[in-house]
Amino acid sequence: MVAGELKYHPECFICLTCGTFIGDGDTYTLVEHSKLYCGHCYYQTVVTPVIEQILPDSPGSRLPHTVTLVSIPASAHGKRGLSVSIDPPHGPPGCSTEHSHTVRVQGVDPGCMSPDVKNSIHVGDRILEINGTPIRNVPLDEIDLLIQETSRLLQLTLEHDPHDTLGHGPGPEPSPLGSPIHTPSGEVGSSSRQKPVLRSYSIDRSPGAGSLGSPASQRKDLGRSESLRVVCRPHRIFRPSDLIHGEVLGKGCFGQAIKVTHRETGEVMVMKELIRFDEETQRTFLKEVKVMRCLEHPNVLKFIGVLYKDKRLNFITEYIKGGTLRGIIKSMVSAWAGPTPAAPAP
């Protein structure tokens, strides 16, 4: 899980205030490159105090640097309440600018948005992703179509940089979508500082996610994520809709193991989930996830990935046929005991 410049293990991607796990598609905000909040706690902890101190129509002017995943619901009246613009490409003349465009929020209509959404989107914010796809991978002619498609949920990953927003005015004017993008040949923008490199903030659910990431995603920030200081195998992140639940393979006082099948691939796996949620049990469960993720032994089930369900973390391991451990032990005991000796003749 990557947010800003920080890389988290899934079990460490939790809200600083309420301690809730932040799963795939859940709204979140990373404040000042260090403090991670869920959508609700960010609005209550950061946005509300700012709004109470300044004018309600300009909360973005004093907000800190943030990276936010915003979910905008489908609109019945056909209005998204959001318009964007494209900055002219930056770079030396003659260099390819195919993927160097920067997309920013140009206008916001508060009447078309809920309070928490409208206070998370500000004019001048950079759009990093649209529906989980990095903006550099979205064709220019499709950006506006995706944003204005009101029949489905829209998720935007935005970067709000108060310093960048304040300095965005001078220099070449951004080009609204639908207008040609060009930079006057004899004009040099007053802001010559290098633009930050776009990063992917989404969750890669592919089996080899760890080996194909960008250089930024390969950095290990083990201190912040409180993880074991070892190299761990790549793992996958599942959604509840990805798996079909089967039989309960085993159940204890604190959790249970359920046989699950991947809906698309047909892969059979085992999901372990808690049935008790006291603080000590959850803390022990997190330790188990960390150990399983980094453990590789022929006599231990291989760790495959994690699943967020009802704001709680479950983990997925491989499934091995052959019955339960109890059944195997009983059969071994019976084999060792041998046939029952016949009673002596009277």
Pair of tokens at residue 58: 């300009």
Beta bridge partners of 157: 69, 129
Token pair 């032994």 in the structure block, residue: 297
Residue 41, amino acid: C
Q: Are 275 and 255 in contact (CB under 8 A)?
A: yes
Q: Are 148 and 163 in contact (CB under 8 A)?
A: no
CA distance 266 to 268: 6
290 annotated as belonging to a binding site for a ligand: no
Backbone angles phi, psi at 189, to 5 degrees: -65, 150
Residue 254, amino acid: F
Q: Residue 127: in which H helix or E strand, if any? A: strand 126-130
What is the number of other CB atoms lying within 10 angstroms of the CB of residue 180?
5
* DSSP three-state, residue 71: strand
Q: Ramachandran region of residue 135, left (φ > 0), alpha (ψ -120 to 50) or beta? A: alpha
Q: Alpha helix locations (H) across the chain?
A: 39-42, 48-53, 115-118, 140-147, 162-166, 222-225, 279-294, 325-337
Pair of tokens at residue 333: 């005991």
Beta bridge partners of 156: 70, 130
Q: Are 17 and 46 in contact (CB under 8 A)?
A: no
* DSSP three-state, residue 128: strand
What is the number of other CB atoms lying within 10 angstroms of the CB of residue 164?
18
Backbone angles phi, psi at 285, to 5 degrees: -65, -40
Binding site: residue ranges? Answer: 272
> Residues forming the annotated binding site for ATP?
272
